[in-house]
Amino acid sequence: MKTTNFTKRMFAAGAAGIMALSLTACGGGDSGGGDAGAGGDSGGGDGDLISVGFSQVGAESGWRAANTKSIQDTLTEENGFDLSFSDAQQKQENQIQAIRSYIAQGVDVIAFSPVVESGWDAVLEEAKAADIPVVLTDRSVDSQDETLYESFIGSDFVLEGETAGKWVVDNLGSEPLNVVELQGTTGAAPAVDRKAGFESAIEGNPNIKIIASQTGNFTRTEGRQVMEGFLQANPDIDLVYAHNDDMGLGAIEAIEAAGLQPGVDIKIVTIDAVKDGMQALVDGKINYIVECNPLLGPDLADIIKDVVAGNPVEKRIVVEDKAFDQAAAAEALPTREY
Protein backbone atom coordinates (compact mmCIF):
# COMPACT_ATOMS: atom_id res chain seq x y z
CA MET A 1 0.00 0.00 0.00
CA LYS A 2 1.29 3.45 -0.88
CA THR A 3 2.13 5.52 2.20
CA THR A 4 0.89 9.07 1.66
CA ASN A 5 2.08 12.15 3.50
CA PHE A 6 -1.22 12.10 5.40
CA THR A 7 -0.66 8.49 6.47
CA LYS A 8 2.84 9.33 7.67
CA ARG A 9 1.55 12.21 9.77
CA MET A 10 -1.22 10.03 11.16
CA PHE A 11 1.27 7.33 12.15
CA ALA A 12 3.48 9.90 13.86
CA ALA A 13 0.49 11.40 15.67
CA GLY A 14 -0.64 7.96 16.79
CA ALA A 15 2.83 7.07 18.08
CA ALA A 16 3.05 10.34 19.95
CA GLY A 17 -0.37 9.67 21.50
CA ILE A 18 0.69 6.24 22.72
CA MET A 19 3.84 7.71 24.26
CA ALA A 20 1.85 10.44 26.01
CA LEU A 21 -0.64 7.91 27.35
CA SER A 22 2.15 5.73 28.78
CA LEU A 23 3.64 8.75 30.54
CA THR A 24 0.46 10.13 32.08
CA ALA A 25 -1.11 6.74 32.85
CA CYS A 26 -4.33 8.33 34.15
CA GLY A 27 -5.88 11.62 35.10
CA GLY A 28 -6.64 13.83 32.09
CA GLY A 29 -7.53 10.98 29.69
CA ASP A 30 -7.91 11.64 25.89
CA SER A 31 -8.17 15.39 26.07
CA GLY A 32 -7.41 16.00 22.40
CA GLY A 33 -9.14 13.16 20.53
CA GLY A 34 -12.63 12.66 19.23
CA ASP A 35 -12.94 15.39 16.55
CA ALA A 36 -12.13 13.26 13.52
CA GLY A 37 -13.79 15.38 10.86
CA ALA A 38 -16.43 14.33 8.31
CA GLY A 39 -14.03 12.13 6.41
CA GLY A 40 -14.09 9.52 9.15
CA ASP A 41 -10.28 9.63 9.63
CA SER A 42 -9.17 10.07 13.20
CA GLY A 43 -6.74 12.95 13.09
CA GLY A 44 -5.66 12.85 16.71
CA GLY A 45 -5.59 15.88 18.91
CA ASP A 46 -4.62 18.32 16.16
CA GLY A 47 -7.57 17.28 13.96
CA ASP A 48 -5.46 16.59 10.84
CA LEU A 49 -7.18 17.31 7.53
CA ILE A 50 -6.48 15.72 4.16
CA SER A 51 -4.58 18.37 2.21
CA VAL A 52 -5.60 18.51 -1.44
CA GLY A 53 -4.12 20.60 -4.23
CA PHE A 54 -6.62 21.10 -7.06
CA SER A 55 -5.78 22.71 -10.41
CA GLN A 56 -8.83 23.75 -12.44
CA VAL A 57 -8.83 24.34 -16.20
CA GLY A 58 -10.26 27.83 -15.90
CA ALA A 59 -13.60 29.61 -15.80
CA GLU A 60 -14.47 29.39 -19.47
CA SER A 61 -18.10 28.31 -19.19
CA GLY A 62 -21.16 27.88 -17.02
CA TRP A 63 -20.31 24.18 -16.79
CA ARG A 64 -16.86 24.94 -15.41
CA ALA A 65 -18.28 27.38 -12.86
CA ALA A 66 -20.67 24.68 -11.60
CA ASN A 67 -17.83 22.14 -11.50
CA THR A 68 -15.62 24.48 -9.46
CA LYS A 69 -18.44 25.26 -7.02
CA SER A 70 -19.13 21.56 -6.49
CA ILE A 71 -15.49 20.89 -5.66
CA GLN A 72 -15.04 23.91 -3.39
CA ASP A 73 -18.33 23.27 -1.60
CA THR A 74 -17.38 19.64 -0.93
CA LEU A 75 -13.66 19.69 -0.11
CA THR A 76 -14.14 21.80 3.01
CA GLU A 77 -12.65 21.67 6.49
CA GLU A 78 -16.03 20.55 7.80
CA ASN A 79 -15.77 17.51 5.51
CA GLY A 80 -12.18 16.77 6.53
CA PHE A 81 -10.19 18.54 3.79
CA ASP A 82 -7.70 21.38 3.48
CA LEU A 83 -8.13 22.54 -0.13
CA SER A 84 -5.63 24.58 -2.12
CA PHE A 85 -7.24 25.71 -5.39
CA SER A 86 -5.74 27.25 -8.54
CA ASP A 87 -7.23 28.47 -11.83
CA ALA A 88 -5.02 27.66 -14.84
CA GLN A 89 -6.82 30.12 -17.13
CA GLN A 90 -6.84 27.42 -19.83
CA LYS A 91 -3.04 27.29 -20.00
CA GLN A 92 -1.18 24.03 -19.53
CA GLU A 93 1.96 25.77 -18.29
CA ASN A 94 -0.06 27.31 -15.45
CA GLN A 95 -1.36 23.89 -14.43
CA ILE A 96 2.09 22.33 -14.47
CA GLN A 97 3.39 25.19 -12.33
CA ALA A 98 0.50 24.71 -9.88
CA ILE A 99 1.07 20.96 -9.65
CA ARG A 100 4.77 21.49 -8.94
CA SER A 101 3.81 23.98 -6.25
CA TYR A 102 1.55 21.37 -4.65
CA ILE A 103 4.38 18.84 -4.79
CA ALA A 104 6.69 21.33 -3.05
CA GLN A 105 4.04 21.94 -0.39
CA GLY A 106 3.81 18.21 0.25
CA VAL A 107 0.03 17.94 -0.07
CA ASP A 108 -1.56 14.55 0.52
CA VAL A 109 -3.35 14.33 -2.84
CA ILE A 110 -3.22 16.27 -6.10
CA ALA A 111 -6.34 16.46 -8.28
CA PHE A 112 -6.74 18.31 -11.55
CA SER A 113 -8.74 18.59 -14.75
CA PRO A 114 -6.15 18.64 -17.56
CA VAL A 115 -6.35 21.52 -20.05
CA VAL A 116 -5.19 19.17 -22.83
CA GLU A 117 -4.49 15.45 -23.03
CA SER A 118 -0.77 15.42 -23.79
CA GLY A 119 2.40 16.58 -22.08
CA TRP A 120 1.84 15.49 -18.47
CA ASP A 121 4.24 12.59 -17.94
CA ALA A 122 7.13 14.65 -16.57
CA VAL A 123 5.18 16.44 -13.84
CA LEU A 124 3.21 13.30 -12.97
CA GLU A 125 6.51 11.44 -12.59
CA GLU A 126 7.56 14.16 -10.14
CA ALA A 127 4.38 13.64 -8.11
CA LYS A 128 4.93 9.88 -8.13
CA ALA A 129 8.53 10.31 -6.96
CA ALA A 130 7.24 12.50 -4.11
CA ASP A 131 4.77 9.74 -3.20
CA ILE A 132 1.78 12.03 -3.80
CA PRO A 133 -1.19 10.29 -5.46
CA VAL A 134 -2.95 12.05 -8.34
CA VAL A 135 -6.65 11.92 -9.23
CA LEU A 136 -7.90 13.14 -12.62
CA THR A 137 -11.31 14.79 -12.85
CA ASP A 138 -13.49 15.60 -15.87
CA ARG A 139 -10.67 15.12 -18.39
CA SER A 140 -8.01 12.45 -18.77
CA VAL A 141 -4.43 12.35 -20.03
CA ASP A 142 -2.99 10.24 -22.85
CA SER A 143 -0.07 8.83 -20.85
CA GLN A 144 0.75 5.18 -21.52
CA ASP A 145 1.78 4.78 -17.88
CA GLU A 146 -1.43 4.46 -15.87
CA THR A 147 0.53 4.18 -12.63
CA LEU A 148 1.04 7.95 -12.80
CA TYR A 149 -2.50 8.53 -11.52
CA GLU A 150 -4.81 6.68 -9.16
CA SER A 151 -8.17 7.22 -10.81
CA PHE A 152 -10.02 9.23 -13.43
CA ILE A 153 -13.60 10.34 -12.80
CA GLY A 154 -15.60 11.97 -15.57
CA SER A 155 -18.13 11.56 -18.34
CA ASP A 156 -17.76 9.40 -21.45
CA PHE A 157 -17.12 12.14 -24.01
CA VAL A 158 -17.20 9.77 -26.97
CA LEU A 159 -20.64 8.55 -25.89
CA GLU A 160 -21.80 12.15 -25.57
CA GLY A 161 -20.79 12.84 -29.16
CA GLU A 162 -22.38 9.60 -30.32
CA THR A 163 -25.64 10.46 -28.55
CA ALA A 164 -25.74 13.87 -30.22
CA GLY A 165 -24.96 12.36 -33.62
CA LYS A 166 -27.55 9.61 -33.27
CA TRP A 167 -30.25 12.18 -32.53
CA VAL A 168 -29.27 14.08 -35.66
CA VAL A 169 -29.40 10.91 -37.75
CA ASP A 170 -32.74 9.79 -36.33
CA ASN A 171 -34.47 13.18 -36.46
CA LEU A 172 -32.87 15.12 -39.31
CA GLY A 173 -30.90 12.64 -41.38
CA SER A 174 -33.57 11.81 -43.95
CA GLU A 175 -32.73 14.96 -45.96
CA PRO A 176 -29.47 16.67 -46.98
CA LEU A 177 -27.95 18.36 -43.93
CA ASN A 178 -24.99 20.76 -43.92
CA VAL A 179 -23.41 20.76 -40.46
CA VAL A 180 -20.93 23.20 -38.92
CA GLU A 181 -19.05 22.13 -35.82
CA LEU A 182 -17.94 24.35 -32.94
CA GLN A 183 -15.11 22.39 -31.36
CA GLY A 184 -13.79 22.70 -27.83
CA THR A 185 -10.20 23.64 -27.01
CA THR A 186 -7.78 22.01 -29.44
CA GLY A 187 -6.20 18.94 -27.87
CA ALA A 188 -8.63 18.80 -24.94
CA ALA A 189 -10.12 15.36 -24.27
CA PRO A 190 -13.77 16.45 -24.61
CA ALA A 191 -13.06 18.19 -27.91
CA VAL A 192 -11.24 15.18 -29.35
CA ASP A 193 -13.75 12.63 -28.11
CA ARG A 194 -16.97 14.54 -28.80
CA LYS A 195 -15.83 15.08 -32.38
CA ALA A 196 -14.95 11.41 -32.81
CA GLY A 197 -18.22 10.23 -31.27
CA PHE A 198 -20.36 12.50 -33.45
CA GLU A 199 -18.53 11.51 -36.62
CA SER A 200 -18.90 7.84 -35.74
CA ALA A 201 -22.65 8.23 -35.29
CA ILE A 202 -23.26 10.00 -38.61
CA GLU A 203 -20.89 7.78 -40.58
CA GLY A 204 -22.72 5.94 -43.30
CA ASN A 205 -25.47 8.52 -43.70
CA PRO A 206 -24.84 10.19 -47.06
CA ASN A 207 -27.21 13.08 -46.27
CA ILE A 208 -25.19 14.47 -43.35
CA LYS A 209 -22.05 16.42 -44.18
CA ILE A 210 -19.79 18.45 -41.87
CA ILE A 211 -18.87 21.41 -44.07
CA ALA A 212 -16.83 23.41 -41.52
CA SER A 213 -15.24 22.71 -38.13
CA GLN A 214 -13.32 25.14 -35.92
CA THR A 215 -12.47 25.59 -32.26
CA GLY A 216 -14.41 28.07 -30.16
CA ASN A 217 -12.43 27.18 -26.99
CA PHE A 218 -15.59 26.30 -25.08
CA THR A 219 -16.46 30.01 -24.66
CA ARG A 220 -19.59 31.91 -25.65
CA THR A 221 -17.62 34.82 -27.09
CA GLU A 222 -15.53 32.66 -29.42
CA GLY A 223 -18.56 30.55 -30.27
CA ARG A 224 -20.25 33.66 -31.59
CA GLN A 225 -17.15 34.82 -33.45
CA VAL A 226 -16.61 31.48 -35.16
CA MET A 227 -20.29 31.18 -36.04
CA GLU A 228 -20.20 34.63 -37.63
CA GLY A 229 -17.38 33.40 -39.85
CA PHE A 230 -19.27 30.22 -40.69
CA LEU A 231 -22.33 32.24 -41.74
CA GLN A 232 -20.28 34.50 -43.98
CA ALA A 233 -18.48 31.62 -45.69
CA ASN A 234 -21.33 29.10 -45.83
CA PRO A 235 -24.80 30.52 -46.55
CA ASP A 236 -26.43 27.08 -46.55
CA ILE A 237 -25.98 25.89 -42.97
CA ASP A 238 -28.64 23.54 -41.65
CA LEU A 239 -27.28 22.55 -38.25
CA VAL A 240 -24.75 23.62 -35.63
CA TYR A 241 -23.09 20.94 -33.52
CA ALA A 242 -21.44 22.67 -30.55
CA HIS A 243 -19.18 20.79 -28.13
CA ASN A 244 -20.70 22.73 -25.23
CA ASP A 245 -23.70 24.91 -24.41
CA ASP A 246 -21.73 28.15 -24.15
CA MET A 247 -20.48 27.95 -27.73
CA GLY A 248 -24.01 27.03 -28.82
CA LEU A 249 -25.35 30.10 -27.02
CA GLY A 250 -22.75 32.21 -28.80
CA ALA A 251 -23.89 30.68 -32.09
CA ILE A 252 -27.46 31.67 -31.27
CA GLU A 253 -26.36 35.30 -30.92
CA ALA A 254 -24.64 35.18 -34.32
CA ILE A 255 -27.61 33.50 -36.00
CA GLU A 256 -30.04 36.06 -34.62
CA ALA A 257 -27.74 38.92 -35.63
CA ALA A 258 -27.83 37.52 -39.17
CA GLY A 259 -31.63 37.76 -39.16
CA LEU A 260 -32.21 34.02 -38.87
CA GLN A 261 -34.15 32.01 -36.31
CA PRO A 262 -32.04 29.59 -34.24
CA GLY A 263 -33.68 26.22 -33.76
CA VAL A 264 -35.79 26.73 -36.88
CA ASP A 265 -33.75 28.13 -39.78
CA ILE A 266 -30.62 26.55 -38.32
CA LYS A 267 -30.97 23.63 -35.90
CA ILE A 268 -28.61 23.48 -32.91
CA VAL A 269 -27.33 20.49 -30.91
CA THR A 270 -25.06 21.03 -27.90
CA ILE A 271 -23.47 19.22 -24.95
CA ASP A 272 -23.49 20.11 -21.20
CA ALA A 273 -27.10 20.93 -20.17
CA VAL A 274 -26.33 23.91 -17.95
CA LYS A 275 -29.24 26.19 -17.03
CA ASP A 276 -28.70 28.76 -19.80
CA GLY A 277 -28.53 26.02 -22.40
CA MET A 278 -31.58 24.26 -21.01
CA GLN A 279 -33.54 27.52 -21.06
CA ALA A 280 -32.58 28.02 -24.72
CA LEU A 281 -33.80 24.48 -25.39
CA VAL A 282 -37.12 25.22 -23.67
CA ASP A 283 -37.37 28.42 -25.74
CA GLY A 284 -36.86 26.45 -28.95
CA LYS A 285 -33.51 28.04 -29.83
CA ILE A 286 -31.62 24.80 -29.21
CA ASN A 287 -33.08 21.51 -30.43
CA TYR A 288 -31.28 18.87 -28.36
CA ILE A 289 -28.76 18.77 -25.50
CA VAL A 290 -26.64 15.91 -24.21
CA GLU A 291 -25.80 16.26 -20.53
CA CYS A 292 -22.31 16.35 -19.03
CA ASN A 293 -22.71 16.39 -15.26
CA PRO A 294 -20.30 18.86 -13.57
CA LEU A 295 -21.16 17.99 -9.96
CA LEU A 296 -18.09 15.85 -9.34
CA GLY A 297 -17.21 17.15 -5.87
CA PRO A 298 -18.84 14.42 -3.73
CA ASP A 299 -17.45 11.57 -5.83
CA LEU A 300 -14.00 13.18 -5.85
CA ALA A 301 -14.11 13.47 -2.05
CA ASP A 302 -14.93 9.77 -1.74
CA ILE A 303 -12.09 8.78 -4.07
CA ILE A 304 -9.58 10.94 -2.20
CA LYS A 305 -10.59 9.40 1.14
CA ASP A 306 -10.19 5.89 -0.28
CA VAL A 307 -6.80 6.71 -1.79
CA VAL A 308 -5.52 8.17 1.48
CA ALA A 309 -6.85 5.18 3.42
CA GLY A 310 -5.10 2.79 1.04
CA ASN A 311 -8.37 1.33 -0.24
CA PRO A 312 -8.55 0.13 -3.84
CA VAL A 313 -10.26 2.52 -6.27
CA GLU A 314 -11.57 2.06 -9.79
CA LYS A 315 -9.17 3.30 -12.44
CA ARG A 316 -12.00 4.73 -14.54
CA ILE A 317 -15.23 6.00 -13.00
CA VAL A 318 -17.84 7.06 -15.57
CA VAL A 319 -20.42 9.69 -14.62
CA GLU A 320 -23.95 8.90 -15.77
CA ASP A 321 -25.37 11.55 -18.12
CA LYS A 322 -28.81 12.16 -19.61
CA ALA A 323 -30.07 13.81 -22.80
CA PHE A 324 -32.87 16.33 -23.26
CA ASP A 325 -35.35 17.37 -25.89
CA GLN A 326 -37.60 20.39 -25.34
CA ALA A 327 -40.19 18.57 -23.22
CA ALA A 328 -37.61 16.89 -21.00
CA ALA A 329 -35.77 20.19 -20.50
CA ALA A 330 -38.98 21.96 -19.46
CA GLU A 331 -39.58 19.27 -16.85
CA ALA A 332 -36.00 19.31 -15.51
CA LEU A 333 -35.24 23.03 -15.55
CA PRO A 334 -37.16 24.18 -12.41
CA THR A 335 -35.03 21.99 -10.15
CA ARG A 336 -31.79 22.20 -12.12
CA GLU A 337 -28.74 22.55 -9.84
CA TYR A 338 -26.44 24.00 -12.50
Q: Which CATH number do you get for residue 308?
A: 3.40.50.2300
Same domain, 212 and 199: yes
Task: Domain of residue 120: give its range.
Answer: 49-155+294-319
Whether the pLDDT of residue 31 is over 50: the answer is no
Whether the pLDDT of residue 286 is over 90: the answer is yes
Same domain, 172 and 285: yes
Same domain, 74 and 114: yes
| pLDDT at res. 314 | 96
Same domain, 146 and 206: no
| pLDDT at res. 337 | 86
| pLDDT at res. 47 | 55
| pLDDT at res. 229 | 98
Same domain, 270 and 300: no
Instruction: Out of 32-41, 43-52, 91-100, pick the least confident.
Output: 32-41
Q: Per residue, what are the HEC states of the chain?
A: CCCCHHHHHHHHHHHHHHHHHHHHCCCCCCCCCCCCCCCCCCCHHHCCCEEEEEEECCCCCHHHHHHHHHHHHHCCHHHCEEEEEEECCCCHHHHHHHHHHHHHHCCCEEEECCCCCCCCHHHHHHHHHCCCCEEEECCCCCCCCHHHCCEEEECCHHHHHHHHHHHHHHHHCCCCEEEEEEECCCCCHHHHHHHHHHHHHHCCCCCEEEEEEEECCCCHHHHHHHHHHHHHHCCCCCEEEECCHHHHHHHHHHHHHCCCCECCCEEEEEEECCHHHHHHHHCCCCCEEEECCCCCHHHHHHHHHHHHHCCCCCCEEECCCCEECHHHHHHHHHHCCC
Question: What is the rounded distance in angstroms from the CA atom of residue 336 to the CA atom of residue 320?
Answer: 16
Mean pLDDT of 260-289: 98
Mean pLDDT of 56-70: 94
> Measuring CA to CA, which residue among 60, 66, 56 is closest to residue 185?
60
Q: Over the chain, what is the mean pLDDT?
A: 88
Same domain, 169 and 280: yes
The pTM score is 0.82
| pLDDT at res. 119 | 97
Same domain, 102 and 208: no
The pLDDT tens digits for 209-226 are 999 999 999 999 999 999
The pLDDT tens digits for 289-299 are 999 999 999 99
Whether the pLDDT of residue 21 is over 60: the answer is no
Confidence of residue 235 (pLDDT cuts 50, 70, 90): confident
**Residue 222 counted as domain residue:** yes
**Residue 23 counted as domain residue:** no
| pLDDT at res. 295 | 95
Question: What is the rounded distance in angstroms from the CA atom of residue 83 to the CA atom of residue 51?
Answer: 6
Of 292, 309, 328, which residue sits at a domain end?
292
**Residue 8 counted as domain residue:** no
**Residue 13 counted as domain residue:** no
Whether the pLDDT of residue 158 is over 90: the answer is yes
122 phi and psi angles, rounded to 5 deg: -60, -50
Same domain, 89 and 141: yes
| pLDDT at res. 26 | 30
Number of domains observed in the structure of the chain:
2
